[in-house]
Amino acid sequence: MADITELATGLQFPEGPVVMPDGSIVVTEIKSGTLARVQPDGRGTVERFADLGGGPNGAALGPDGYLYIANNGGFLWSELNGMLLPVDMETRSNTPPGFTGGWIDRVHPDTGEHTVLYRECDGWEFRGPNDLVFDSHGGFWFTDFGKSQPRTADKGFLHYALADGSHIERVPFAMYGPNGVGLSPDESRVYVAESMTGRLLGWDVTAPGKVAAPQPEVIDATKSHFDSLAVEENGKVVVAAINHGLCILEPDGSGHEYVEMPDPMTTNVAFGGPDRTTAYVTLSGYGRLVSLDWPRPGLPLPY
């Protein structure tokens, strides 16, 4: 197991780590519906600065310096041996009472003031926006994971939207739990981690928000239950793999390897530090944000 540094504890199912320009790390807290700022000095200081409600999940900095949040609309919750789980363990449903859909938030990174940008696409309400990534053109790709019920589960989709709230479109290919989303270093490919199958999927990008064909390539299929992801500068894709830590996948599908983490609910990773060789990882089951040295630099993000 890698040597890790604990940066914060007591978080309410953290996700969506964003390394801010000042070196602090913003995480979403899905259970409490809040955003928290954590300092990287290891003192455990947590500042909660926004209350969004629902279930803030993935996060990214946009071209205007605001935070953009994929809000899944909230979950049902269970506890197992002190570990928090985003599902009712008895029914296997994660749809909370009174659920009215998820949305995309735009949040001021200092004041926490927020507005809703999108709630639906082509008349289809969002069932569980999960993760998002900006391209260098100022738009963002995001996944809608969907929700599960005792006997059914929603289909999920990949979307592309503009940051000003003026345009949104959907890739017409249904998935079983699309989760993490990322771009190759040259932005010629968009990747999605499909949770329930442990597959990494990839589309060729032909223009902002456009793909060559709805059907993706299956880049790799693993034993894992995939969550969110980040991309290395060299193009390797690092996926949080529930029960297996972090899964590092070759973009040509030639193989993958694992880095073990001390939490079955390892949910997300982001790269930071002066040379982007520090990995910030959300260990959500026990509510921790940790860091570890990474052998290669992460991909610099556009904003």
CA-to-CA distance for 115 and 105, rounded, in angstroms? 6
Please say whether the beta carbons of 144 and 155 come within 8 A. no
Portion of the chain with pLDDT greater than 70, in percent? 100
Going by C-beta distance under 8 Å and a sequence separation of 6 or more, which residues neighbour residue 225? 195, 196, 198, 241, 242, 243
Please say whether the beta carbons of 270 and 298 come within 8 A. yes
Please say whether the beta carbons of 228 and 193 come within 8 A. yes
Residue ranges per structural domain of the chain = 5-293
Q: Which residue has better confidence, 2 or 61?
A: 61
* The pLDDT of residue 43 is above 90: no
Residue 108: its pLDDT value, please? 98
CA-to-CA distance for 301 and 183, rounded, in angstroms? 10
Residue 257: its pLDDT value, please? 97
Mean pLDDT (the chain, rounded): 97
Q: What are 84-122's pLDDT values in tens digits? A: 999 999 999 999 999 999 999 999 999 999 999 999 999
Residue 2: its pLDDT value, please? 76
Residue 267: its pLDDT value, please? 98
The DSSP output letter for 81 is T
Amino acid letter, 63: P
Q: What are 249-286's pLDDT values in tens digits? A: 999 999 999 999 999 999 999 999 999 999 999 999 99
Q: What are 133-172's pLDDT values in tens digits? A: 999 999 999 999 999 999 999 999 999 999 999 999 999 9
CA-to-CA distance for 25 and 7, rounded, in angstroms? 10
Topology of the domain comprising 5-293: Neuraminidase (2.120.10)
Q: What is the mean pLDDT of residues 37-50?
A: 93
Q: What are 181-222's pLDDT values in tens digits? A: 999 999 999 999 999 999 999 999 999 999 999 999 999 999
At residue 7 the predicted structure's pLDDT band, cuts being 50, 70 and 90, is: very high
CA-to-CA distance for 55 and 74, rounded, in angstroms? 4
CA-to-CA distance for 273 and 19, rounded, in angstroms? 9
For strands 129-134 and 25-29, give the pairing: unpaired
Residue 250 CA, distance from chain mean position:
20
At residue 44 the predicted structure's pLDDT band, cuts being 50, 70 and 90, is: confident
Q: What are 278-294's pLDDT values in tens digits? A: 999 999 999 999 999 99
Please say whether the beta carbons of 298 and 233 come within 8 A. yes
Helix or strand or coil: residue 202? strand
Burial of 267 (0-12, 13-18, 19+ CB in 10 A): buried
Please say whether the beta carbons of 139 and 160 come within 8 A. yes
Taking the whole predicted model, whether its pTM rises above 0.95 is answered as yes
Going by C-beta distance under 8 Å and a sequence separation of 6 or more, which residues neighbour residue 77? 31, 84, 85, 86, 87, 88
